Amino acid sequence: MSNRRSLLSGAQRASRRQRSAGPGRAPADTLGTLAAQYRPGWALPGGFYSDPELYRLDVERVWRSGWLFAAHSCELPNPGDYLTLQVDRDSLIVIRGEDGVVRGLHNVCRHRGSLICTESSGHAHRLVCPYHQWTYTSDGRLLACRGMPEDLDKSALGLRPLHAREVGGLIYISLAEQPAEFRSAENVLATATRPQGLTQAKVAKAMDYRVQANWKLVWENNRECFHCNVNHPQYIKANFDHYNADDATPRIKRELASAVQRGEAKWAAAGLAPTHQESGMTRFPDAERNIWFSANRTPLVDGYVSETMDGKQVAPLMGEYKEPDIGTLRIRTLPNFWNHSSCDHSVSTRLLPAGPQCTAIRVVWLVHADALEGRDYQLEKLLPFWQLTSEQDWEICERQQRGVNSSAYVPGPYSTYKEYNVDSFVQWYIKTIEARPRN
């Protein structure tokens, strides 16, 4: 009864506030106004998904502060290999130096600001600006700038650096001057990725999407499988995680327990362990403890050894695996990465913000470095499971974006059974956005 009263008044209060925040509101108050409308356990107010000022704050406090997944190590196997990516309006270079170390640099010449690398990837021992040929080393030092005064202090004109880390085949960067510590994440990622062998992988396929939805809607979608039953007919055949405390029937619970047990017995020999054994999704993130990274292994449904259309293995075993029945490994790091790995392939999703209502998404399929397309794997077997699941989600997100844009949108309550992780994501986000940036 008290629940009902607070529910009603909450919706009414939010609705009243939204209405009064009409034309003429000063942009400086955006975060304050929106944050005041937020109610824990409920969805975010609409402005969080569309307001241009709020988006600028997201870029500053999330995207220019946190650790961003940039690429896989195997995309830059040799010294001089580089790739570029775009975080909002910032173009970035990630390059492997002569010393084998991966570094990040702003892709902006210190002379007159031209982009330096114009391709999405390439190979170069020197970074040469195409405008006036200012020439930088792969660690960003200005080597040559013909035509400039002799006494120019080149040491002050290097490419502005990013922080970069490489761990277990994954490359992370940070645009912050003083980024948060990476060590805790590094430990988790190193341990989780080792048996998967991401360092001995290769890219079988990459697909790029521009999804017309705010990046947070994409994450919220990722943080629950409440929507899976109807929207992901392929995914639910292979997985248990759409069953939650409230709807995992005794039979399902038995099947899951049996799968876990089977896994435990077999995987122990290989030094693996099922780290997520309950119904429902593993809990992530955790705003209280500042947990923005996690990895876990969980069983697949009986008959499935890979997240493929029929559950069959579609490529050679990766990494240290000796047999296909090793469940799935799942990794996620906020604000922009998740990965589902089966015994034979690994699928990474990278998000990058491209506007208040646009997210640039790259989905990459990895297989063993020695696998040969046509001989060892066929793309038509490898791709459909995650291509379908991904595109189903992008469509959901775009539909939701159109809805939360409505003046009639009022945040609704999250299910404590099924949307605990969405709630956790929102709490993590609110804490992150309200914190002053570190630099």
Q: What is the number of other CB atoms lying within 10 angstroms of the CB of residue 274?
A: 19
Least distance CB 412 / a second copy (angstroms): 4
Interaction with a second copy in 175-194: which residues (CB under 8 A)? none
Question: Is residue 27 within the footprint of a second copy (CB under 8 A)?
Answer: yes
Q: Which residues of 318-349 are buried (b: 16+ CB within 10 A; e: fewer)?
A: bbebeeebbbbbbbbbbbbbbbbbbbbbbbbb
**What is the rounded CA–CA span in Å between residue 304 and residue 301?**
6
Candidate list 40, 78, 99, 156; residue touching a second copy; CB under 8 A: 156
- What phi and psi, each to the nearest 5 degrees, are found at residue 11? -65, -40
Site map 370..409 versus a second copy, x via CB under 8 A: --------------------------x--xx-xxxxxxxx
CA 4 to chain centre: 37
Smallest gap, in angstroms, from Cβ of residue 212 to a second copy? 13
Q: Is 34 in the site for a second copy (CB under 8 A)?
A: no
- Tokens 């000796």, residue? 322
Does position 226 interact with a second copy (CB under 8 A)? The reply is: yes
- Residue (139 or 247) nearer to a second copy, CB: 247
When asked if residue 250 is in the footprint of a second copy (CB under 8 A), the reply is: no
| Cα–Cα dist 224/134, whole Å | 49
Burial class (CB in 10 A: 0-12, 13-18, 19+), 353: buried
CB of 306 to a second copy, least distance (A): 28
7-41 b/e (C-beta count within 10 Å ≥ 16 → b): eeebbeebeeebeebeeeeeeeebbebbbebbbee
From 166, 220, 325, 344, residue interacting with a second copy (rule: CB under 8 A): 220
Q: Does residue 146 touch a second copy according to CB under 8 A?
A: yes
Give me the sheet containing 142-144, strands edge to edge: 127-128, 135-136, 142-144
Q: Give backbone dihedrals phi and psi of 102, rounded to 5 degrees, phi first.
A: -85, 130
Instruction: Give whichever of 50 and 200 is closer to a second copy, judged by the CB atom.
Output: 50
- Closest distance of CB 184 from a second copy, Å: 27
**Of 2-10, 194-202, 281-289, 361-369: span binding a second copy (CB under 8 A):** 2-10
Q: Examine residue 28 and tell whether it contacts a second copy (CB under 8 A).
A: yes
Q: Decide if residue 112 touches a second copy (CB under 8 A).
A: yes
Q: Name which of 12 and 290 has its Cβ closer to a second copy.
A: 12
Q: Does 151 bind a second copy (CB under 8 A)?
A: yes
Spell 140-158 as b/e; 16+ CB within 10 A means b.
Answer: bebeebeeeeeeeeeeebb
Which residue in the set 74, 122, 135, 247 belongs to the binding site for a second copy (CB under 8 A)? 247
The least distance separating a second copy from the CB of residue 234, rounded to whole angstroms, comes to 17
Q: Taking CB under 8 A as the criterion, which residues in 55-94 touch a second copy? A: 56-57, 60, 64, 88-91
In terms of CB distance, is 220 or 307 closer to a second copy? 220
For a second copy, give the closer residue by CB, 191 or 405. Answer: 405
Looking at 212-316, list the stretches that DSSP marks H as alpha helix, in order from N- to C-terminal side. Answer: 215-222, 228-231, 233-238, 250-269
30 binds a second copy (CB under 8 A): yes
The stretch near a second copy (CB under 8 A) out of 115-123, 257-265, 279-287, 299-307 is 115-123
Judged by CB under 8 A, does residue 230 bind a second copy?
Answer: yes
Can you list the positions of beta strands (E) in 1-60? none
Query: Do residues 75 and 96 make contact, with C-beta atoms less than 8 angstroms apart?
Result: no
Taking CB under 8 A as the rule, does residue 40 contact a second copy? no
